[in-house]
Amino acid sequence: MGKVKACLFDLDGVIVDTAKYHYIAWKELANEMGFDFTLEDNERLKGVSRMTSLDILLSIGQVEKSEEEKVALATKKNENYLTYILKMGPEEILPGTKEFLELLQKENIKIALGSASKNAMLILERLKLTSYFEAIIDGTSVAKAKPDPEVFIKGAEALGVQAEDCVVFEDAEAGVEAALAGGMKCVGIGKEDVLGKAHLVVDGLHKMSMQKLGLLND
Ligand code: B16
Ligand code: MG
């Protein structure tokens, strides 16, 4: 491991809480199919790709669908989800995010996004955060979902930084595993009991500082 030269950010749960909109849209889909979907169930979808999320939802409802029907259901869910995303604005950026991104820029630390979402570009635009990111790797540019490290490895490559000099910020266990599998350092955003494998766990980006980032240098 080396000195921190780049920070790679997950989107949902780190920069913005889109999980609440995913939840509303998945719940409506479940209810239309005749079963319920709880907030606890929704935890299982965090960091997981859209089609895998649908498979989990269908298994909860014990419903079987053909591949064709699944594509139609995922499209319907996404159209509903987008109605909420299109109403979002910068006020939904999670506390401390902009300040931390600005601090990193000042310190010449490179910044990339590594998200499973196919809507990441649209969300960053709604939040007016796009210009902070030198590279954006999202669900449209990866073949393998987290815990596979592809999304973060591509991010490091796009920035021209070695994996060991990158720090990943993640709220999902699969994302922490992806960062570690990619040979990167990881800051977990959330609870120690879920993200304990990360090098450091904090409540949110508002708890980050150069001093804390420096703890990951060696
Ligand atoms: P979409 P992240 C993930 O975003 C979400 O955590 C996950 O719940 C969602 O299913 C996934 O994006 C795909 O999202 O349907 O917009 O392509 O945490 O990797 O930024
Ligand atoms: Mg996330």
The answer to whether residue 34 sits within a structural domain is: yes
CATH assignment of the domain containing 113: 3.40.50.1000
Which ligand is nearest the CA of 11, by number? 1
2 CA distance to ligand 1 middle (Å): 30
Q: What does the angle CA 173 – CA 174 – CA 180 come to, to the nearest 5 degrees?
A: 90
Q: Where in the sequence is the domain holding 181, given as residue range(s)?
A: 6-16+90-214
pLDDT at residue 142, as a whole number: 95
pLDDT at site 116? 95
Structural domain includes residue 118: yes
Name the residue with the closest Cα to ligand 1, atom 8.
46
| Structural domain includes residue 55 | yes
The reply to whether 11 and 109 lie within a common domain is yes
pLDDT, position 218: 72
- Give the span between the Cα atoms of 70 and 129, in whole angstroms: 32
Domain identity same for 78 and 99: no
Kindly state whether residues 79 and 98 are assigned to the same domain: no
Q: What is the CATH number of the domain that holds 46?
A: 1.10.150.240
pLDDT per residue, tens digit, the chain (218 aa), is 468 999 999 999 999 999 999 999 999 999 999 999 999 999 899 889 999 999 999 999 999 999 999 999 999 999 999 999 999 999 999 999 999 999 999 999 999 999 999 999 999 999 999 999 999 999 999 999 999 999 999 999 999 999 999 999 999 999 999 999 999 999 999 999 999 999 999 999 999 999 999 999 87
- Domain shared by 197 and 165, yes or no: yes
Which of 115, 118, 186 best tests ligand 1's pocket when mutated (most atoms within 8 Å of CB)? 115
Our answer on whether the CB atom of 138 is closer than 6 Å to any ligand 1 atom is no
Report yes or no on 1 lying in a domain: no
- So what's the pLDDT on residue 217? 87
156-195 core/surface letters (b: 16 or more CB in 10 A; e: else):
bebbebebbbbbbbbbbbbbbbbbbebebbbbbbbeeebb
Give the pLDDT of residue 3: 82
Tell me what pLDDT residue 78 has: 98
Ligand 1 within 6 A of 13 CB? yes
Q: Is the CB of 77 under 6 A from ligand 1?
A: no
Q: Select from 33, 64, 85 the last residue of a domain.
A: 85
Query: Known catalytic residue: 12?
Result: yes
One domain, residues 210 and 142: yes
Cβ neighbours of residue 145 closer than 8 Å, sequence gap 6 or more: 48, 49, 52, 116, 174
Pick the last residue of a domain from 85, 101, 131.
Answer: 85
CA of 180 to the centre of ligand 1 (A): 20
Same structural domain, 167 and 195: yes
pLDDT number for residue 2: 62
